[in-house]
Amino acid sequence: MERLQKVIASSGYTSRRKAEELIVNNHVKVNGEVVSNLGIKVDDNDIIEIDGEVLKTDPLKEYYLLNKPREVICSVSDDKGRKTVIDLIKTNTRIYPVGRLDYDTTGLIILTNDGELANILMHPKHKIQKTYIAKIDGILNEEDFKHIRKGIKIDERILKVDHMKVKEIDKQKNTSLVEVTIHEGRNHIVRKLFATLGYDVLKLSRIAYGSLTLGNLKSGEYRLLSHDEVKSLYGHK
Ligand code: URA
């Protein structure tokens, strides 16, 4: 619920001060009744009229970048009662995650109520690059590295990575830290990529999405996207 004058101003009809004047001077109706009280609150289901014309209220768009922790599900609700990414963000707006990270994957996820942008970002033709850091069980050998760089068949379709780099090898623990950039949105794609060559992914984190990076957001923290960041995401269209 939002104050009537705020909803009128957010719609772009007029400023908040002018909206208040319209209300106190009996120009505004809510659900057919004249209101002159500045304290009244409305929601998306209320019909607002100004001088007999229905106000078009497009809900304000919200854009968040969250550093998703492990054991949180990328969904708006969960029938098993697990924590969702929505539970981590303080808003009354009905936002949803753009795409998914696995329950055990951490890192960068965008949440918004802007369906148009979500569709652009999720459409495969826009080929948005996403960068992951994977800790894998085993030492990634030269042959497998080349195999991945050349293209690797996963579920009957070739995956071409855009970029790959071995960041660290731990011979004692027998693990490798690999950074990989892909522009595909297939589910569990990074885990499947390594599984195809016999490596288990022990940890997985997304550190970049298009031009967005996690910056210094800690696990579970989030921030609003700036106007320029939203514009640049729309630029993928
Ligand atoms: N690839 C995966 O395997 N898991 C994710 O969560 C994201 C990409």
CATH number for the domain spanning 79: value is 3.30.70.580
Q: Do 141 and 195 lie in a common domain? A: yes
Long-range contacts formed by 7-12: CB under 8 A, 24+ apart: 7/42, 7/48, 7/55, 7/57, 8/48, 8/50, 8/55, 10/57, 10/60, 11/55, 11/56, 11/57, 11/58
In the prediction, which pLDDT does 57 show? 77
Q: Do 43 and 158 lie in a common domain? A: no
Q: How many domains does the chain have?
A: 3
In the prediction, which pLDDT does 44 show? 82
Residue 9 Cα to ligand 1 midpoint, Å, equals 41
Q: What are the start-end ranges of the E strands in the chain?
A: 2-3, 28-30, 33-34, 41-42, 48-50, 53-54, 63-68, 96-97, 106-112, 130-137, 152-154, 157-159, 163-170, 175-182, 200-209, 212-213, 222-224
In the prediction, which pLDDT does 92 show? 82
* 200 classed as catalytic: no
* pLDDT > 70 in the chain, percent: 100
Rounded Cα–Cα distance for residues 222 and 90 (Å): 10
In the prediction, which pLDDT does 13 show? 83
**Those residues with Cβ within 8 angstroms of residue 233's Cβ, 6 or more apart along the chain or in another chain:** 110, 117, 120, 121, 210, 212, 225
pLDDT tens per residue across span 68-109:
999 999 999 999 999 999 999 999 888 999 999 999 999 999
Q: Which of 17, 37, 54 is the last residue before a domain boundary? A: 54
What would the two tokens of residue 165 be? Answer: 């780099």
Which residue owns the Cα nearest ligand 1 atom 2?
188
Q: Which of 11, 37, 54 is the last residue before a domain boundary? A: 54
Q: Do 189 and 77 lie in a common domain? A: no
Say yes or no to pLDDT of 169 above 90.
yes
In the prediction, which pLDDT does 120 show? 92
Average pLDDT over residues 163-177: 97
Q: Do 116 and 218 lie in a common domain? A: yes
Are the beta carbons of 181 and 129 closer than 8 angstroms? yes
In the prediction, which pLDDT does 107 show? 98
Q: Do 137 and 199 lie in a common domain? A: yes
* pLDDT > 90 in the chain, percent: 81
Select from 11, 45, 21 the least CA-distant residue to 31.
45
Say yes or no to pLDDT of 15 above 90.
no
The total of other beta-carbon atoms located within 10 Å of residue 203's CB is 14
Domain containing residue 134: CATH number: 3.30.70.1560
Pocket probe for ligand 1: among 161, 188, 193, the residue whose CB has the most ligand atoms within 8 Å is 188
In the prediction, which pLDDT does 237 show? 74
Domain containing residue 24: CATH number: 3.10.290.10
Q: Do 202 and 139 lie in a common domain? A: yes
Q: Do 137 and 203 lie in a common domain? A: yes
In the prediction, which pLDDT does 45 show? 87
Are the beta carbons of 234 and 121 closer than 8 angstroms? no
Q: Do 200 and 136 lie in a common domain? A: yes
The band of 210, judged by pLDDT with boundaries at 50, 70 and 90, is: very high
What number of residues does the chain have? 237
Residue with tokens 């942008």: 117
Q: Do 136 and 120 lie in a common domain? A: no
Q: Which domain holds residue 72?
A: 63-125+212-234
Exactly one of 46, 78, 102, 104 is catalytic; name it: 102
Q: Do 115 and 219 lie in a common domain? A: yes
102 lines ligand 1 (CB under 6 A): yes
Q: Do 200 and 149 lie in a common domain? A: yes
20 half-sphere exposure, CB direction, 13 A CA radius: 6
Q: Do 199 and 220 lie in a common domain? A: no
204 lines ligand 1 (CB under 6 A): yes
In the prediction, which pLDDT does 185 show? 85
What would the two tokens of residue 192 be? Answer: 């499947």
The band of 140, judged by pLDDT with boundaries at 50, 70 and 90, is: very high
The chain-wide mean pLDDT, for the chain, equals 94
pLDDT tens per residue across span 16-61:
899 999 999 999 999 999 999 999 999 888 999 999 999 987 777 9
Rounded Cα–Cα distance for residues 50 and 42 (Å): 14
101 lines ligand 1 (CB under 6 A): yes
What's the sign of the alpha-carbon dihedral 180, 133, 140, 194? negative
The band of 1, judged by pLDDT with boundaries at 50, 70 and 90, is: confident
